[in-house]
Amino acid sequence: MHVSVLPAAGCLVVLLAPAAAGGQQLPAPPPASPRVTIMEAATSTLQAHPLIQAQQKQVEISRAVRQQRTGDFDTQVRWSAEQSRSVTPLTEPVRLSFQQAGVNVVSESLNLTTVTGSFSKLFRTGIQVGPALEMTRATGNIESPDGASRARVSFDVSVPLRRGRGKDVIAAPERAADIQVVASQFDFSQTAADLLLTTATSYWQYVGAVSRLEIAEGAEARARDYVASVDSLVKADRLPRSEIYQVRANLAGRAADRITSEQQLADARYGLALAMGLGPSQALQIPRPADPFPDGKSQALLPVAPDGIRSYVDLALANRADYLAAEKRKQAADVLRIAATNGVLPQVDLVASAGYAGLQEGRAAGDYLGSLYTRASGPDLLFGIRWSRPIANNVAKGQLSEADASYRQAILLVSDKERTVSGEVSSALTGVYHGVLRLAKAEEAVSLYRAALEGEKDKLRLAVGSLTDLLTVEDRLTSALVDLSVAQEAFAIALAQLRHATGTLVDAGRPMASIDRDIFFTAPALKLPN
């Protein structure tokens, strides 16, 4: 199997489809534009990432296990054919008695041909039924010298009265395997959500790295302009020559910052390539990002009071694929536990069989087949009860202990997953809340430092300011721009984390899911009751 993701009307449609021949992974399509969008990055992740392919194989494995469990109720067809010859020496008195009867033999020989066949069907109630046939032909030098063919046809029924009775017991492995298929589909959805979170985080880090490189380049350009201006003023004897060292040092520092930002951009590009499932050679081909950071001004403040957080936790528990998978595995463990409880009971079966027997003498093939209907007599009837139980019954007791422990373990895992989900939702919710507040203050700081820098420039032109003050304010403006970029990146990542924490990145457990572009730019909305 492979996953294909088709861009359609601003969303991604995720489809599960058969894999290419030989199990080869389909290559990721190249970006559709000179700049990569977050939707294109998500597309590449769901198409090309190896973990997506591996998890899809796990879904196939769980389906194969379910098919095996369903095979327990297949109609069983059995057929056998045997040919035997036995020679038994006769004692002297027996041999003499045969001689007196006119038969001179020293041993008894017997040729026996046996053909058996049966159909049996085990129902999910535990009842097993089916017809059976046995045909034999015997020829010997003493008994049946002319050959005798016998046939018996019967219909057998076995009804369990204690152990192995009822759908909750007999069909438990099949039901548990069916539940495990659903759980593995939830695991697939969770894997997709985890990878999409990594991709969104890497994409916004890439956007942030580009933004901070542009800030560093702008700061370096301003520093170069300061050097040129001061150098002109020094040559005109309007500033002392010592001022040139300060602006040159500032330029060197800005150049160092720009080089650091270039390295950070390269690291972010490679991180995005890994998240998209691309190889090392494709990492260098990733273009600059096309999507800007989400707009924090349009995001309303989310509730961070306990009641508000509880509402988002409820949303997460209804949508988180990993939590739903844990719930399904608890159901499967409960099914097996109930079946194991029945396994400690003794085996008590009601058995019945009805049929008839036929006989045909002669050596011809037709005589052998004719035994099915020649000289038929009956009916033959059998009715009884069979009881069995191991004295210590260690196997059944051990299976019950294992099943009970597995069920209790599954309960604990569900509880722990609920704790984890609650913590992630709370952290992500407050992250978005404080991200909005941080963005507002960071934008305010940039605006004020821009105004302050213009003021220092005016003071310097009027010869009432100092170059040191100008460079200090300019440095603070650069730091404020970097802080704003970091705040924008943190807010974008917080949105993705909130989507992931609430299970609203992908639809859990569905073979086809629509991934809207808005999930990367807006917080999930609560569905209010009517």
pLDDT per residue as tens digits for the range 308-353: 899 999 999 999 999 999 999 999 999 999 999 999 999 999 999 9
Specify the amino acid at residue 495. Answer: L
**Residue 502 in this model has a pLDDT that exceeds 50:** yes
Q: What is residue 276's three-state secondary structure?
A: coil
Q: Residue 146: beta bridge partners?
A: none
Domain spanning 2-66+175-332+404-520 has what CATH number? Answer: 1.20.1600.10
CA atoms of 169 and 126, how far apart (whole Å): 8
- CA-nearest of 387, 449, 322 to 161 is 387
Pairwise pLDDT comparison (458 vs 477), residue with the higher score: 477
Query: What are φ and ψ of residue 158, in 5° steps?
Result: -130, 125
Q: What is residue 305's three-state secondary structure?
A: coil
Query: What are φ and ψ of residue 112, in 5° steps?
Result: -130, 125
Q: Are 357 and 378 in contact (CB under 8 A)?
A: yes
Specify the amino acid at residue 87. Answer: V
Could you tell me the pLDDT band of residue 465, with boundaries at 50, 70 and 90? confident
Report the 10 Å Cβ neighbour count for 100.
8
CA atoms of 129 and 77, how far apart (whole Å): 12
CA atoms of 334 and 337, how far apart (whole Å): 5
Specify the amino acid at residue 381. Answer: L
pTM, entire model: 0.82
Burial of 462 (0-12, 13-18, 19+ CB in 10 A): exposed
H or E element at residue 156: strand 148-160
Task: Give the pLDDT confidence score for residue 310 in this predicted structure.
Answer: 93
Both structure tokens of 371: 């035994």
Task: Give the pLDDT confidence score for residue 527 in this predicted structure.
Answer: 65
Specify the amino acid at residue 28. Answer: A
Task: Give the pLDDT confidence score for residue 513 in this predicted structure.
Answer: 52
- Cis peptide bond N-terminal to 529, omega within 30: no
Task: Give the pLDDT confidence score for residue 229 in this predicted structure.
Answer: 84
Residue pointed to by tokens 């895992």: 413
Q: How confident is the model over 478-494, as a mean pLDDT?
A: 96
Q: How confident is the model over 282-290, as a mean pLDDT?
A: 86
State the span(s) of the chain assigned CATH 1.20.1600.10: 2-66+175-332+404-520
Tell me the CA distances in angstroms from 120 to 11, 22, 177, one per residue in order: 53, 38, 24
Both structure tokens of 300: 């309303």
CA atoms of 494 and 436, how far apart (whole Å): 10
Q: pLDDT tens digits, residue range 22-78?
A: 333 444 544 444 789 999 999 889 888 999 989 999 999 999 999 999 999 999 999
Q: How far apart are the first and last CA of the chain?
A: 41
Tell me the CA distances in angstroms from 14 to 18, 43, 513, one per residue in order: 13, 9, 5
Both structure tokens of 3: 């996953």
What average pLDDT does the chain have?
87
Q: Are 14 and 515 in contact (CB under 8 A)?
A: yes
CA angle 43, 49, 54 (to 5 degrees): 130
Pairwise pLDDT comparison (188 vs 142), residue with the higher score: 188
Both structure tokens of 528: 């209010």
- CA-nearest of 483, 498, 488, 496 to 421 is 498
**Residue 219 in this model has a pLDDT that exceeds 50:** yes
Q: pLDDT tens digits, residue range 202-218?
A: 999 999 999 999 999 99
Task: Give the pLDDT confidence score for residue 8 in this predicted structure.
Answer: 36
Q: Are 276 and 41 in contact (CB under 8 A)?
A: yes
Q: pLDDT tens digits, residue range 410-456?
A: 999 999 999 999 999 999 999 999 999 999 999 999 999 999 999 98
Residue pointed to by tokens 């988002």: 312
